[in-house]
Each structure stands twice: as C-alpha cells, then as structure tokens.
Amino acid sequence: MKGDTGEVSFKMARSPQGSLEILCLGEKLRITQGQRETVLVCERQS
C-alpha cells in the first residue's frame, strides 16, 4: 500500500472467474457484490 495515497495494487496470475453485481454506481461511490456475497465499497478520491 502506498502510504501517501492509500492506493493498493496487485497483479493477477489468471483472469477472474464468476460474477459481479453493481449495487450502486455514482460519481464518487461504487458498491458491488460478488457471487460469494462479498460486498465491496469503493470511494473515488478527487
């Protein structure tokens, strides 16, 4: 993780499998739910 921005990045060894449902999509916020019911909330920084 980058300490100054909080950015996290990683490389994937293979393509992801499964499905992803977008629950909310806005200018600053995105909420998704995967097939294993994991909920991810992402906030866009200016």
Residue 46 has pLDDT above 80, yes or no: no
Residue 30 has pLDDT above 90, yes or no: yes
Average pLDDT on 1-20 reads: 86
Whether 40 is in a domain gets the answer yes
Q: What is the pTM of this model?
A: 0.61
Whether 7 is in a domain gets the answer no
Whether 2 is in a domain gets the answer no
Q: How confident is the model at residue 25 (pLDDT cuts 50, 70, 90)?
A: very high
Q: Answer for the pair 24, 41: CB distance below 8 angstroms, yes or no.
A: no
Q: How confident is the model at residue 10 (pLDDT cuts 50, 70, 90)?
A: confident
Taking alpha carbons only, the member of 42, 45, 15, 44 closest to residue 31 is 42
How many structural domains comprise the chain? 1
Q: How confident is the model at residue 44 (pLDDT cuts 50, 70, 90)?
A: confident
Whether 34 is in a domain gets the answer yes
Q: Answer for the pair 30, 24: CB distance below 8 angstroms, yes or no.
A: yes
For the chain, give percent helix, strand, coil, nearest 5. Answer: 0, 35, 65
20's enclosing H/E stretch is strand 20-25
Whether 32 is in a domain gets the answer yes
Whether 27 is in a domain gets the answer yes
